[in-house]
């Protein structure tokens, strides 16, 4: 079964180590603007939510790409972007229901988490609280999230 970066929100302290380690791994810079994992801070609620690509079973980004620059690896389950094929049209950015593909202005291409290309993800390595883990996916949880997204897209926000 494929592995995913899993998040335990109750352990997150909002330190953004995940963002910094991700950007450094992929760009050689400590730059939150160049990360592929995002730590959202909600000051009033005193909460932190870390999100990254869910490596969907049937990725909408793959279906939307007019240049076939995005594909899901059948063995690892990771959705990857072929930068040689990507023309930066941003169709995949619009298609992702979770907003996890971003347009990387510094390279004029789409960018998303690729789980560090098969290495153990840097964000997990440098998470000081164990908020992030790298383990087999939780199918029931994924299905619940996908049902919620479908419900919201259909305009019925009651779940």
In tens digits, the chain (159 residues) has pLDDT values of: 688 999 998 999 999 999 999 999 999 999 999 999 999 988 888 889 899 999 998 999 999 999 999 999 998 999 999 999 999 999 999 999 999 999 999 999 999 999 998 789 999 999 999 999 998 866 676 677 667 767 766 766 554
Buried b / exposed e across 129-142, counting CB within 10 Å, b at 16+? eebbeeeebeeeee
Our measurement of the distance from residue 66's CA atom to the centroid of its chain's CA atoms, rounded to an integer in Å, reads 21
Residue pair 132/141 in contact (Cβ under 8 Å)? The answer is no
CATH architecture entry for 1-52+113-154: 2-Layer Sandwich (3.30)
Range(s) within the chain of domains with CATH label 3.30.70.20: 1-52+113-154, 56-112
Task: Report DSSP letters for 97-121, one per residue.
Answer: TT---EEETTTTEEE---GGGGSPP
Q: What is the pTM of this model?
A: 0.82
Distances (CA, A) of 81 to 40, 71, 93, 107, 142: 24, 7, 12, 13, 22
- pLDDT, residue 154, reads 74
DSSP class of residue 74 equals T
Residue pair 40/19 in contact (Cβ under 8 Å)? The answer is no
56-112 fold: Alpha-Beta Plaits (3.30.70)
């Amino acid at each position: 079964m494929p592995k995913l970066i899993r998040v335990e929100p109750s352990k997150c302290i909002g330190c953004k180590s995940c963002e910094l380690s991700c950007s450094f791994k992929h760009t050689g810079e400590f730059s939150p603007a160049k990360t592929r994992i995002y730590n959202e801070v909600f000051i009033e609620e005193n909460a932190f939510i870390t999100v990254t690509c869910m490596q969907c079973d049937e990725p909408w980004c793959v279906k939307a790409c007019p240049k076939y620059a995005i594909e899901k690896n059948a063995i690892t389950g990771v959705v990857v972007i072929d930068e040689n094929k990507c023309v930066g049209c941003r169709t995949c950015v619009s298609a992702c229901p979770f907003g996890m593909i971003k347009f990387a202005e510094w390279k004029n291409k789409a960018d998303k988490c690729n789980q560090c290309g098969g290495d153990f993800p840097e964000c997990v390595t440098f998470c000081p609280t164990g908020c992030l883990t790298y383990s087999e996916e939780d199918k029931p949880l994924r299905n619940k999230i996908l049902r919620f997204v479908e419900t919201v897209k259909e305009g019925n926000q009651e779940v």
